[in-house]
Chains A and B, each alone.
Chain A
Amino acid sequence: MNELLLGLADDELVIGWRDSEWTGIAPMLEEDVAFSSIAQNEIGHARAVYELLTDDADALAFDRAPGEYRCAPLVQLHLLEWAHTIARRWLYEVADEIRITALMADVPVAAKINREEAYHRMHAQMWHERLRDEPRFRDAVTELWPFALGVLLPEQRAELSSRAALDEVAAIERGTFDDSFSALLHEMTIVRRSAPAGAQW
């Protein structure tokens, strides 16, 4: 269970960080606000789940070696391209709903996260409806699909395949690291590494 929660928290932290990369440069002002807000929310979810595992959420979030993170490769990808970004948002939210609802009976905070994710799903769904017939978007979904399957446990993947209407293929599993991940982690921890011990915010 702890392994599952750590994977969930790492996914939320890292996708929150990746989504925040659109702050200030999204193609529309509305999306600038949306991505910033979603990112903030996802990082808040990460913190709530880290707190189930430790008394020091910051230490767990930021002080591990790159190889110790459990985030799915999908969230690690550095995708500053709109079709891929929306494809990832949509695939991530479809997968995330399956795993969050499965956790709700045992983990009370999962039910709280689920209420908030409803708005992320509406956002993803709205974009999916708008772009699903665009070849660039379809290609991005096809490219990211093996990564999306890797977000879930093997027994949950048939459900994802049915909801996304895509055939199951070999998943890209957790424990695989994108080349960009170390650089991301370096960036994420700059403030923490540069702060004097015992600094208060």
Chain B
Amino acid sequence: MTEAQVWAWLDEIPDPEIPVISLVDLGVIRSVDVSNERVHVEFTPTFLGCPALEFMKRAIEDKVPGADVEVVNDDSWSTDKITAAGREKLREAGFAPPAPRLVHLQSQVHRCPYCGSTETKLENLFGPTPCRSLRYCTSCRQPFEQFKTI
């Protein structure tokens, strides 16, 4: 078993709540180490209150035989860890990808994933999962879910 193979497997595991992106796209796999026939995967949670965490950990264990999954509860994950491919997949599925932290902190601009307009307004800071807000696009009159920048 090689590290590249493990990464490829992990890239086949969908996010349980937003299945259009994989755990690799989401940026929650911090490292993969294969040595002496042992696989060690470091996994960082997204939101601490996310009920999908246990599910993701189990999905990794099921997908990668014998993997030892270590959950690292430090501050290393932010929405900036979502890959460029992952952001594009989110947008295509109608989830506005999170603004990069630097942009978010300076401008608070939110773009509609359907028409690209920035004429959008906040409907609710909280949505169906801890990671989402609800916004409304006044240009194309479409409500959409915004991945929160954290």
- Where the two chains meet, the residues of A that have a C-beta atom closer than 8 Å to any C-beta of B are 30, 33-34, 36-38, 40-45, 47-48, 51, 108-109, 111-113, 115-116, 118-119, 122-123, 126
B47 at the interface (CB under 8 A from A): yes
Residue contact A33 to B124, C-beta cutoff 8 Å:
yes
From B51, B73, B128, contact of A108 by CB (8 A) = B73
Contact for B49 among A43, A111, A115, A123, CB less than 8 A = A43
> Residues of A contacting B48 with CB < 8 Å?
41, 44-45, 47-48, 109, 112-113, 116
Q: How many A-B residue contacts, CB cutoff 8 Å?
A: 69
- A47, A111, A118: the one contacting B75 at CB < 8 Å is A111
At the interface, yes or no: B123 with Cβ under 8 Å from chain A?
yes
Contacts of B73 in A (CB 8 A): 48, 51, 108-109, 112
Given the known interface contacts A34-B126, A115-B150, A119-B148, the answer about A108 and B49 at a Cβ–Cβ threshold of 8 Å is no
Q: Chain B: which residue is nearest A41 at the CB level?
A: B49
Query: Which residues of chain B (64-97) have a CB below 8 Å from chain A?
Result: 73-75, 77-78
B130:A108 contact, CB within 8 angstroms: no
Q: Which of A33, A45, A112 has the most CB of B within 10 A?
A: A112
Q: Given A109-B75, A112-B73, A115-B150, check contact A40 B125 (CB 8 Å).
A: no
Our pick among B51, B125, B129 for the contact of A34 (Cβ within 8 Å) is B125
Residues of B within 8 A of A44 (CB): 47-50, 130
- The answer to whether A123 and B125 touch across the interface, beta carbons within 8 angstroms, is yes
Question: In terms of DSSP, what is the predominant structure of the interface of chain B?
Answer: loop
> Per-position contact with A for B89-113: 1 when CB-CB < 8 Å, else 0?
0000000000000000000000000
Interface residues on B, range: 20 to 34
- A83 smallest CB distance to B (angstroms): 20
Residues of chain B within 8 A (CB-CB) of A48 are: 48, 73
Instruction: Establish whether residues A112 and B75, one from each chain, have CB atoms under 8 Å apart when the complex forms.
Output: yes
Return A154 CB to nearest CB of chain B, in Å.
28
